[in-house]
Amino acid sequence: MSVPRLLDAGEAALVVEFGNTVDPTLNDRVLALDEALAADPPQGLRERVPTYRSLMLHYDPLVLDRARLVDHVLRLTGSAAARTGAATLWTLPCCYDAPHGEDVAELAGRAGLSAEAVVAQHAAATYRVYMYGFAPGFAYLGGLPEDLAVARRASPRPPHPRNAVVVGGGLAAVATVPMPTGWYVVGATPSRLYAPERAESFFVEAGDAIRFEPVDAATFDALVTREASGEPVARRGLAT
Amino acid sequence: MSVLIIEAAGPGITLQDGGRHGYLRYGFTAAGPMDPLMHATANRAAGNTLDAAAIEISTGGVTVGVEGGPLGLALASTGFRIALDGEPLPPAVALTLEPGRSLVVRAGDTGSWGYLAVQGRLDLAPVLSSLATHTRSSVGGLDGRGLAAGDRIPVADGRPGERAPHRLVAPWLDRAPDTVRVVLGPQDDYFAPDQVAAFLGGPWTVSPRGDRMACFLDGTPLKHARGHDIVSDGVAMGAIQVPGNGLPIVLMADRQSTGGYPKIATVIGPDLGRLAQVRGGAQIAFRAVSIADAVAARRGEVKVLCSPAAREPVVRTDFAPDFLLGLNLVDGVTDGRPWEHTHW
């Protein structure tokens, strides 16, 4: 297996780069090192940020010398080629109906499909959580059916509501924080991938899998209430 | 309990502590001060931990008062105009604010950010163990937003400082703004050597449209050797990304945690504040240094911040001509409140 490239991002961050494509095998190597460092962290390592194809390590260079960090990383990449922890499959309720699936018709037009086919294909797929980025709890999901892989809009649409389920550029995402976006809003989930006041503010880890289970608007509203009361509506494992 | 009253506030005034660390892997940026060294300097002068929550003051300026008892304050800035009930004070100053009086902080000719620390603890509910405000995700500080007139910030364990204002001795805040040190990479190999040289030499003009998220640079656009899209990877504070138009963007405290443009270089930690303080329209260049040099600069910062906080009484050191003309004799110097007529 190839040795990762080590790139400095200033004197307090090191990028361990395994490749430069969006690929599950590559992402597994990133997550294997992430896991190994979580189990055996050198003193002075502050944060680990997994991405599609690299792991960024933020460190305190007054505590952890770069050379020592590099030795530690190379030792672990030599021994920890595969992930040992099991990825969790999460089922998130998703309402594709009005008023939540704002852009389903537009996306259907772009993809040359019916609105029903867009929803059916989106809900049938199992997605891989590659990484977080962009905003708190914004999860980038791979595994979007090819028929739904349309380019993002050239100019952003107005801000979407919280916890929008979006697609764009061949990827899917859950967009937790309202923002203008070039992605297409196909629905909304009552599940909060990010809830700062919750004891476990984030519960989905990079490497986990996600499926979306269609619910109607009335069920969505009921689930929002349940989620707000502190009872999580995301379920571990497949929908029953 | 003392309460700090925001009597007036321009845009971009937020509460910032040392940052909300540990959540980058969930897409959550740390926020924290734009000028970490100046923020720590204010906290040190107030007798707080260096990463305590303080008010970050933009060029929009702020006016504060206090209720419930006199409260010690430490203000760190370079070039801001400070006045206590109309009496000018130095830009870096420790003072005691009494109920009924107002401290006015306004932008001067230089500097983009100042920090106001209280002798005590800003008593607000932290989010994920931090008071750092990230307005884009409406988190931290006061309801996740910038401060506004009428805001009241409770202060726990508030205490008065020395009665007379004292100038903070912090020469390390006087940083030459023209050259910012960087470590090349992580994607400097996306640029030919002549473009890396052009990047370093600039000169680049700092755009006035910068904010807590990014510092935009104008100049001769850089050419990419291998395209301007990369598969997203992590972004450190100070990362300098070069998007398709070739104009560098330095990603600052409120940046996103990941990004998809090549990053030609990264500003070293000790120079983040130096860059943040540069006002729109000013010109800068970059100088590449080694990791070892950057770490040595960090050690230097720790050394000054660990030294005892020095301060000196505010005395008249500069006589403005209009002041001298209006003076009959020198008896004005001996009125017992020498800071009252000081011109800085």
For residue A65, count other CB atoms closer than 10 A to its CB: 15
Percent over 70 (pLDDT), chain A:
97
pLDDT at B343: 34
Percent over 90 (pLDDT), chain B:
85
Residue B330 falls inside a structural domain: no
Which of A51, A62, A139 has its CB closest to that of B299?
A: A62
The predicted-structure confidence for A131-190, as pLDDT tens digits, reads as follows: 999 899 999 999 999 999 999 888 889 999 999 999 998 999 999 989 888 999 999 999
Question: What residue numbers bound the domain in which B70 lies?
Answer: 2-174
CATH 3.30.1360.40 fits A5-79, yes or no: yes
Average pLDDT over residues B257-272: 96
Residue B328 falls inside a structural domain: no
The CATH fold of domain A89-236:
Cyclophilin (2.40.100)
Give Cβ neighbours of residue A31 (< 8 Å, ≥ 6 apart).
A50, A83, A206, A207
Last residue of a domain, one of B270, B288, B303: B303
Q: Which of A5, A6, A8, A11 to mutate to test the interface with B (most CBs of B within 10 A)?
A: A11
The predicted-structure confidence for A27-60, as pLDDT tens digits, reads as follows: 999 999 999 999 999 999 999 999 999 999 999 9
The predicted-structure confidence for B112-152, as pLDDT tens digits, reads as follows: 999 999 999 999 999 999 999 999 989 999 999 999 999 99
In chain A, residues with a C-beta closer than 8 Å to the C-beta of B302 are 62
Q: B128 and B50 share a domain?
A: yes
Q: Is B40 on the interface with A (CB under 8 A)?
A: no
pLDDT at B316: 56
DSSP A63: T
Q: Where are the domains of chain A?
A: 5-79, 89-236
DSSP A157: B
Give Cβ neighbours of residue B133 (< 8 Å, ≥ 6 apart).
B14, B15, B16, B31, B139, B140, B141, B142, B144, B145, B146
Q: B164 and B292 share a domain?
A: no
The answer on pLDDT for B342 being more than 80 is no
Residue B203 falls inside a structural domain: yes
pLDDT at B308: 81
Fold identical between A5-79 and A89-236?
Answer: no
The predicted-structure confidence for B211-259, as pLDDT tens digits, reads as follows: 999 999 999 999 999 888 899 999 999 999 999 999 999 999 999 999 9
Q: B7 and B110 share a domain?
A: yes
Q: Is A7 on the interface with B (CB under 8 A)?
A: yes
SS3 B264: strand
SS3 A104: helix
For residue B159, count other CB atoms closer than 10 A to its CB: 16
Question: How many domains is chain B partitioned into structurally?
Answer: 2
pLDDT at B318: 53
> What does the alpha-carbon distance between residue B33 and residue B20 come to, in Å, rounded to a whole number?
11
Average pLDDT score over chain A: 93
Q: B9 and B153 share a domain?
A: yes
The answer on pLDDT for B323 being more than 50 is no
Q: B283 and B192 share a domain?
A: yes
DSSP B245: T
The answer on pLDDT for A100 being more than 90 is yes
Please state whether the predicted TM-score (pTM) of the whole model is above 0.80. yes
Give Cβ neighbours of residue B184 (< 8 Å, ≥ 6 apart).
B196, B264, B265, B288
Q: B164 and B211 share a domain?
A: no
Banded model confidence at residue B321, pLDDT cuts 50, 70, 90: very low
Q: B240 and B277 share a domain?
A: yes
With 0-12 CB in 10 A as exposed, 13-18 as middle and 19+ as buried, what is A3? Answer: exposed
Q: Is B300 on the interface with A (CB under 8 A)?
A: no
Last residue of a domain, one of B135, B150, B174: B174
> What does the alpha-carbon distance between residue B141 and residue B153 come to, in Å, rounded to a whole number?
10
Banded model confidence at residue B332, pLDDT cuts 50, 70, 90: very low
Percent over 70 (pLDDT), chain B:
92
Residue B30 falls inside a structural domain: yes
Give Cβ neighbours of residue B100 (< 8 Å, ≥ 6 apart).
B65
> What does the alpha-carbon distance between residue A223 and residue A58 come to, in Å, rounded to a whole number?
38
Q: B161 and B185 share a domain?
A: no
Residue B332 falls inside a structural domain: no
pLDDT at B41: 97
Q: B71 and B132 share a domain?
A: yes
Last residue of a domain, one of B152, B174, B196: B174
Average pLDDT score over chain B: 91
Which of B27, B232, B239 has its CB closest to that of A136?
A: B27
The answer on pLDDT for A238 being more than 90 is no
Q: B267 and B199 share a domain?
A: yes
Residue B329 falls inside a structural domain: no
Q: Which of A8, A23, A65 to mutate to test the interface with B (most CBs of B within 10 A)?
A: A8
Q: B95 and B210 share a domain?
A: no
The CATH number assigned to the domain holding B276 equals: 2.40.100.10
Cβ distance A49 to B267 less than 8 Å, yes or no, reads: no
User: Residue holding tokens 């009253």?
Assistant: B5
Residue B344 falls inside a structural domain: no
Closest chain B residue to A7, measured at CA? B186
Q: B114 and B131 share a domain?
A: yes
Give Cβ neighbours of residue A100 (< 8 Å, ≥ 6 apart).
A161, A164, A185, A187, A188, A217, A220
With 0-12 CB in 10 A as exposed, 13-18 as middle and 19+ as buried, what is B179? Answer: middle
Cβ distance A135 to B268 less than 8 Å, yes or no, reads: no
In chain A, residues with a C-beta closer than 8 Å to the C-beta of B299 are 62
Q: Is B127 on the interface with A (CB under 8 A)?
A: yes
The predicted-structure confidence for A212-235, as pLDDT tens digits, reads as follows: 999 999 999 999 999 999 999 999
The predicted-structure confidence for B180-223, as pLDDT tens digits, reads as follows: 999 999 999 999 999 999 999 999 999 999 999 999 999 999 99
CB B297 within 8 A of CB B268: yes
